[in-house]
Structure 1
Amino acid sequence: MAATIYYEEQAPIAPLAGKKVAVIGYGSQGHAHSQNLRDSGVEVAIAELEGTDNFRLAVEHGFTPGDIKTAMDGAALIIVTLPDEVQAKVYEGQIAPNLKAGQTLGFCHGFNIHFKYIVPPKDVNVVMIAPKGPGHLVRSEYEKGGGVPCLVAVEQDATGDAKAIALAWANGIGGARAGILETTYKEETETDLFGEQVVLCGGLSALIKAGFETLVAAGYQPEIAYFECVHEVKLIVDLIYQGGLSYMRYSISNTAEYGDLSRGPRIVTDETRAEMKKILGEITSGAFAREWVSEYQGGLKNFNALYAKDHDSQVEVVGRKLRKMMKWVNAKEV
C-alpha cells in the first residue's frame, strides 16, 4: 500500500499561527526545528540546561533559553528532542507536572511513546514529526528554500486537530516542501530500530570489519584492506543514494557488477535473513527496548566495553593513519 504524502497545500502552517511552540533540547534536531519554525513566523521558546554547549549555541542563534516549565507555559506545541534514554526521566520530573489539557506533545522518534516509557494523559495530543535526515541537513535545506522529507504520526488526538498541528509543524521546518509521509508510532519506531541494527549501523559495521579482517588474516597489507573495505564504501553508498541499486550497478565496472550480483547472495544467506527476523522480533516484542533501558540505567558497562573494543581495533587504528593522508576527507577523529 502506497504511503499518503502531504505537501504545503495540504499542510498549512495556520494551526500554529499566533501560537507558542516550546522546544525541549537544543541538540541536533532541536536547533534545526527551532530556527526553521522561527524563520517561518512561529514564536519559539527553548528549554536547555544553562552552562552547556547547546545552551550557548541557542544564545548564539538569538534565543533566550530557560527552564522547561517556563518554555512550556502557554505553549500550544511542546517538541521533545532529547535523547531517547533520558526522555522518560525528564518527562516524569519536569514535563508531566507542567502539562496542561489541550496541549500537544511532539516527538521526533517514537521510542518512548511506543514502548510506553512515557504515557501522556488522555487530554493532550501526542504527535510525531520525524525528518529523514540529521538536524544540520534540516536546517541547511530550509535555508536553501527546500526541505527534508518527514514522517508524520498521530498517537493521540485529544483536541480533534492533532494531525493539523503536526502537519503545520512539519511545514514550519520545511518538510512540506519535500513531502510528509503518513505513518504510525509503531511503524516508525520498529523500522527505524531495525534499519539501524541490521543495515545502516550494525550490519554495515560488522560487514566492514569482517571484510577487513579476512583480507588481513590472508596476508594482505592492512592499509590496502582499509581502502578496499572501508574507504570505498562512500563511493558505493553515494551512488545508491543518488539513484538506487540500479544506478550504482550502472556506474561500476561490469566485473564489479557481476561480482555483486553473483556473490552478494552468498554473503547474505538464509541464515543471515533468519537472524534479521530474530532481531526484528526482539524489536517488536520490546525486548531490545528493555535491554537498552536496562543497560543505560545500569551505567552503560557493556555499552562502554563494546565501544572501547571497536574504537581500538586494527581497522580503526589503520584508518586514523590513512585519513591523515586525505585532506579532502575532513576527518572527524573521536
Structure 2
Amino acid sequence: MQNRKDEGDREMTATVYYDNDIDENVLRNKKIAVFGYGSQGHSQAQNLRDSGFQVAIGARPGKSWDKAVRDGFDVKSVKEAAEEADVMIMLLPDEKQPAVYYKEVEAGLKPGNAIAFAHGFNIHFKQIVPPDFVDVFMVAPKGPGHFCRREYLNGGGVPAFYAVQQDATGNAEKIALAWAKGLGAARAGVLKTTFKEETETDLFGEQAVLMGGMTHLIEAAFDTLVEAGYQPENAYFETCHEMKMLTDLIYENGLTGMRYSCSDTSKFGDFTVGPYIVDKGVKERMKKVLENIQSGKFARDWLLENKVGRPMFNALQEKENNSELERVGRELRKLMPFVKQGKKDSEDITANVAQ
C-alpha cells in the first residue's frame, strides 16, 4: 500500500495497492459468478480464471452464452449461477441490471455472499438495493474489457478503482482487493474510492471529455473545415485521424510529453488558441453537467429514456453514425489496412451502423 510522492511532484492523496499488498486467498475457494459476457464480462471472467479462481458465467441463451461456452466456461442461467455463487458481479449494461437483479439474483442471495459491480451507477442511484446481509463492493478497471484482457495476457494490467458500500462479513475490502488482483489490476495499481465518487467522476469524464467533449469537438472542427471549402478527406486527417497519435503520447507521458513531440508552431497554437476555444464558458457548462450528475438528473433522464423505448437515443445514434465525418472516415480507413489490426469488433461495428 502506498501514498507515494511522484518524482519532483506532489504527494498522492489516493491509497494505492499493488500485488504484494494483497492476499488473494480470501477469494481462492469461493465460487464466482460473472453475470454478462460482453466486453467487461469476458475480460474479467477470463482473467480471474487464469489467476486460478473458480468462475462460472450467468447468461441468457444467445451470442454471449455461446461465446462463453466456446471459451470453456461453465454457463448457467443467471438465476442458477446466483444461487450457487459465493461472490458474483453484475457486468450487464447499467440500464438492464435492476430488472435482472430483482428477477433472477436477489432471491438467491444468502448471508455471507458478496455482490460486486464494475460501475457504481445502480448502487449509488439506488436502482439496486441489496439486503444488509451481503457484502457490496466495486472493482472498476480504468479501460475497456478487450484492453484489460490484452494487458493481462501481456503480463501487465490496467489500473482499477475499488470501493466497499456494505461490509456484512468484515471481509468485503479483502475480497474486493483479491478480485482486483485476480484481474491483473494490482500489477498497475488499485486505488481506493467510494461508489459515489467513482460514479460521479466516471459519468462526468465520459460526458465532458472522453465521449461527449471529444467527439463533438472533432465533429465541429471537421464541419468548420468542410464548410470553408476544404476537402473532407483532408479535414478528416487533420481533425480526427491524428487524434490517436496524440492521445497515445498523452497516455504515455502526459500533456507535457505530448507537447514535447510536437512542433513549437503547434504548441504556440495550443497555448494561445486552446483557451479561446475552451474558454470560461466551457468550464461553467461543465459545472452544470457535474451538478446534473450529482443531483441525479442525468440518471433519471437516462432511466426514463430506456423506459419509453429510447426514441431520443436511437435518433441521435443514427444521426451520429451517419454524419459526413463518419462516412468519410469509413472510406479512408479502407485505404489503411493497418488501422484494422487488433479491431476484433469491426464486423459488429459495421453491422450496428447498418441497422
The bucket for the TM-score relative to the shorter chain is over 0.9
Q: Which runs of 4+ in 1 moved over 3 A?
A: 331-334
User: How many residues matched?
Assistant: 333
1:274 equivalent to 2:284? Answer yes
1:279-318 aligned within 5 A: 279-318=289-328
SS of the residue corresponding to residue 49 of structure 1 reads coil
1:254-269 aligned within 5 A: 254-269=264-279
Q: CA deviation at 1:254?
A: 0.7
The question of whether the paired residues in 1 share the 8 Å contact of 2:29 and 2:54 is answered with yes
1:1-334 aligned within 5 A: 2-50=13-61, 52-330=62-340, 332=346, 333=350, 334=353
SS of the residue corresponding to residue 74 of structure 2 reads coil
Q: CA deviation at 1:137?
A: 2.0
The question of whether the paired residues in 1 share the 8 Å contact of 2:60 and 2:78 is answered with no
C-alpha distance in 2, partners of 1:78/1:319?
Answer: 41
C-alpha distance in 2, partners of 1:232/1:148?
Answer: 24
Q: CA deviation at 1:300?
A: 0.5
Q: CA deviation at 1:92?
A: 0.9
SS of the residue corresponding to residue 86 of structure 2 reads strand
CA-to-aligned-CA distance 1:113-147 (integer Å, 9 cap, x gap)? 00000011111110000111111222222222222
C-alpha distance in 1, partners of 2:43/2:81?
Answer: 17
C-alpha distance in 2, partners of 1:73/1:308?
Answer: 40
CA-to-aligned-CA distance 1:165-216 (integer Å, 9 cap, x gap)? 1111111111112111000001100010000000000001110111011111
Percent identity, aligned pairs only?
Answer: 55
Amino acid at match of 2:184: G
Mean Cα displacement is larger for which, 113-122 or 71-80?
Answer: 71-80
Q: CA deviation at 1:284?
A: 0.5
C-alpha distance in 2, partners of 1:204/1:181?
Answer: 26
SS of the residue corresponding to residue 129 of structure 1 reads strand
User: RCO higher in 1 or 2 (8 Å CA, sep ≥ 6)?
Assistant: 1
| Length-normalised TM-score, structure 2 | 0.91
C-alpha distance in 1, partners of 2:339/2:146?
Answer: 18
CA-to-aligned-CA distance 1:29-88 (integer Å, 9 cap, x gap)? 1111111211222111111112x2111111111112011222123422111111001001
Unaligned stretches of 5+ in structure 1?
A: none
Unaligned stretches of 5+ in structure 2?
A: 1-11
Q: CA RMSD in A?
A: 1.2
SS of the residue corresponding to residue 130 of structure 2 reads coil
Q: CA deviation at 1:253?
A: 0.7
